[in-house]
């Protein structure tokens, strides 16, 4: 039976996307969304900070505490951009631009930054040029020899395993040095976590699938076409308008007011929907099923009891666990730890002709080769080359970058010193420093995650839940903004 009342727990991007799509799909249902924080959008925080330039003019810079750019591979996000009318404020970075092509690693024990070759082919072709150094750079050598050997390695996935860590997987196919340098850096950049703990099937399913398609070889697998299941899209096609055309050849994108524009537009739209009630600053404190009415009862921090025929939980899984009575437990809600990451926005004024970093996207720091070394800095994003249009045209000379740290910041001068050392440039004193301690922000999907989520989903289909409670969000179906928006889009599909 179609729902008559739906409660959505959590107003991060997952919950907001669920509210947007459910209110369209079930216009007769009363939808209430509860969000613990007054601020909606969860980890998405885009804020402007005022700055006075040397000539006395005032301007502002856009600073992000969470996601800062998105890749155009998620159709559900592109659909929101279309349906919410956000195209005019899109800022796109072409794949061909140096801001997109130049990505760096900082290898402990080497000087400055090393550019990651954009493909093994680029190492070969640039190696033909006498000026080129990529073939001789440590990264070019490691990448080329790992990729060239991989197709000749036998199919070496151990029998009967259903999952393994990203590090184990990459070590098997490309060798342990490749796995430590490239794999760990990638996982630092996305999960702020250790690649030895992250499930390859949950985090990078395309790698696991390519190994199967290539009968053991990833390189071969990627050269073979994959069987894409288009069933879901045929049933419910994405409404993309012209946005997919705008995204042709685009590497990453954001908006003139940052990623927060997506949250603001969702809120504006939801506030016009008569069947939606948004409760900010109100948390769910308990959740139970009343066996007499067969309805859910949600107690809240505002001492209200909400009743709903259906629920979407879009809160972190440990928070959901805290809401349930021990008589009605759900499995695996605390199986994954959450990484904490401190994002530090730094704004500098560079003198003309004095670059503070190479033009590019930024750099990542791989896991140290020795357990005794520890890199506090996971990486640093160069915000200015890709997103300078977020600032006024007269803001030339302003350089924004964001350092990602695995621990809370203890000293700003020390951080500036460490960044200067890694960049090989003496950074001036920053004009603005904004520190965001994002505690327990990214779920670390441990090995076996997909199996555990399947078991959770099986329990939710049985008694007493009977499919009326859906559990979604970053800790379930993937941490990217695209995964979260897609999960909200799919919520309640079985309720019609």
Ligand X SMILES: Cc1cc2nc3c(=O)[nH]c(=O)nc-3n(C[C@H](O)[C@H](O)[C@H](O)COP(=O)(O)OP(=O)(O)OC[C@H]3O[C@@H](n4cnc5c(N)ncnc54)[C@H](O)[C@@H]3O)c2cc1C
Q: Closest separation between CB of residue 300 and ligand X, Å?
A: 8
User: Which residue number, 36 or 367, has a Cβ lying nearer to ligand X?
Assistant: 36
If we measure between CA atoms, which residue out of 262, 411, 391 comes closest to residue 344?
411
Whichever of 108 and 286 has its CB closer to ligand X, that residue is 286
Interacting residues with ligand X (CB under 6 A): 9-15, 34-37, 42-44, 66-68, 70, 283-284, 314-316, 319, 341, 343, 438, 441-442, 473-474, 479-482, 484
Shortest Cβ 271–ligand X spacing (Å): 17
Rounded-to-10 torsion of CA 188, 189, 190, 192 = 40
Angle in degrees, CA 364, 369, 372, rounded to 5:
105
Q: How far apart are CA 281 and CA 336, in angstroms?
A: 26
Question: What's the min distance (Å) between Cβ of 13 and ligand X?
Answer: 5
CB of 314 to ligand X, least distance (A): 5
Within 10 angstroms of residue 110's Cβ, the number of other Cβ atoms is 12
| Nearest distance in Å: CB 301, ligand X | 8
Instruction: Tell how strand 30-35 and strand 276-280 pair up.
Output: parallel
- Give the Cα separation of 162 and 283 in Å (integer): 37
Which of 239, 236, 241 shows the shortest CA–CA distance to 87?
241
- Residue 47 has a CB neighbour count (10 Å cut-off) of 16
Residue 308 pairs with which residues in a beta bridge? 296
Of 218 and 346, which CB lies nearer to ligand X in the complex structure?
A: 346
Q: Closest CB to ligand X among 64 and 164?
A: 64
The nearer residue to ligand X, 3 or 473, going by C-beta atoms, is: 473
**CA–CA separation, 233 and 175 (whole Å):** 38
Nearest distance in Å: CB 360, ligand X: 16
Q: Which residue is nearest to ligand X (CB)?
A: 42
Task: State in angstroms the smallest separation of the CB of 223 from ligand X.
Answer: 27
Give the shortest CB-445-to-ligand X separation in angstroms: 11
**Nearest CB to ligand X, comparing residues 174 and 238:** 238
Strand order in the sheet with 103-105: 114-115, 103-105, 362-364, 377-382, 398-405, 338-349, 432-443
* Closer residue to ligand X (CB): 216 or 482: 482
* In contact, 18 and 314? CB cutoff 8 Å: yes
User: Would you state the structure tokens that stand for residue 234, as one six-digit string?
Assistant: 């045929």
Q: Does an H or E element contain 453, and which?
A: helix 449-461
Min separation Cβ 316 and ligand X, Å: 6
Complex with ligand X: residue 44 or 210, whichever CB lies closer:
44
Tokens representing residue 326 in the block: 């021990």
In this structure, the strands spanning 310-313 and 5-9 are: parallel
Question: Helix %, strand %, coil % for the chain, to 5?
Answer: 35, 25, 40
Q: Judged by CB, which is closer to ligand X: 70, or 347?
A: 70
């Amino acid at each position: 039976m179609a729902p008559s009342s739906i409660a959505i727990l959590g107003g991060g991007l997952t919950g907001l996307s669920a509210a947007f799509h459910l209110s369209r799909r079930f216009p007769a249902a009363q939808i209430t969304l509860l969000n613990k924080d007054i601020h909606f959008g969860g980890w998405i925080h885009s804020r402007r900070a005022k700055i006075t330039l040397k000539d006395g003019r005032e301007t502002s810079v856009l600073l992000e505490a969470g996601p800062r750019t998105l890749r155009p591979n998620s159709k559900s996000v592109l659909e929101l951009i279309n349906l919410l009318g956000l195209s005019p404020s899109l800022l796109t970075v072409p794949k061909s631009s140096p801001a997109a092509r130049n990505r760096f690693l900082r290898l402990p024990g080497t000087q400055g930054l090393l550019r990651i070759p954009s493909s093994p082919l680029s190492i070969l072709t640039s190696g033909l040029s006498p000026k080129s150094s990529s073939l001789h750079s440590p990264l070019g050598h490691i990448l080329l020899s790992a990729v060239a050997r991989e197709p000749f390695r036998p199919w070496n996935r151990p029998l009967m395993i259903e999952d393994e860590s990203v590090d184990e997987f990459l070590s098997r196919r490309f060798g342990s040095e490749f796995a430590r340098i490239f794999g760990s850096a990638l996982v630092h950049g996305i999960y702020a976590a250790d690649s030895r703990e992250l499930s390859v099937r949950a985090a990078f399913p395309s790698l696991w699938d390519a190994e199967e398609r290539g009968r053991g070889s990833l390189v071969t697998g990627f050269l073979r076409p994959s069987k894409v299941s288009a069933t879901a899209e045929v049933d419910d096609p994405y409404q993309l308008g012209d946005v997919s055309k705008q995204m042709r050849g685009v590497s990453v994108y954001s908006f003139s007011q940052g990623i927060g524009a997506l949250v603001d537009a969702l809120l504006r739209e939801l506030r016009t929907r008569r069947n939606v009630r948004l409760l900010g600053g109100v948390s769910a404190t308990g959740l139970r099923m009343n066996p007499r009415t067969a309805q859910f009862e949600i107690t809240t921090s505002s001492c209200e009891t909400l009743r709903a025929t259906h629920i979407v939980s879009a809160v972190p899984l440990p928070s959901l666990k805290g809401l349930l009575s021990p008589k009605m437990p759900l499995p695996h809600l605390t199986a994954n730890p959450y990484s904490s990451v401190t994002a530090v926005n730094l704004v500098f004024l560079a003198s003309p002709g004095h670059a503070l970093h190479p033009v590019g996207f930024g750099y990542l720091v791989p896991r140290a080769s020795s357990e005794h070394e520890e890199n506090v800095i996971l990486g640093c994003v160069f915000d200015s080359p890709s997103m300078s249009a977020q600032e006024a045209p007269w803001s030339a000379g302003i350089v924004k970058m964001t350092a990602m740290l695995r621990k809370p910041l203890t000293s700003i001068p020390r951080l500036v010193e460490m960044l200067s050392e890694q960049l090989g440039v003496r950074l001036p004193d920053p004009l603005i420093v904004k520190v965001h301690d994002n505690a327990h922000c990214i779920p670390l999907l441990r090995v076996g995650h997909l199996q555990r989520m399947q078991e959770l989903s099986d329990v939710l289909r049985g008694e007493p839940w009977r499919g009326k409670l859906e559990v979604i969000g970053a800790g379930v179906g993937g941490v990217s903004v695209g995964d979260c928006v897609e999960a909200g889009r799919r919520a309640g599909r079985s309720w019609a």
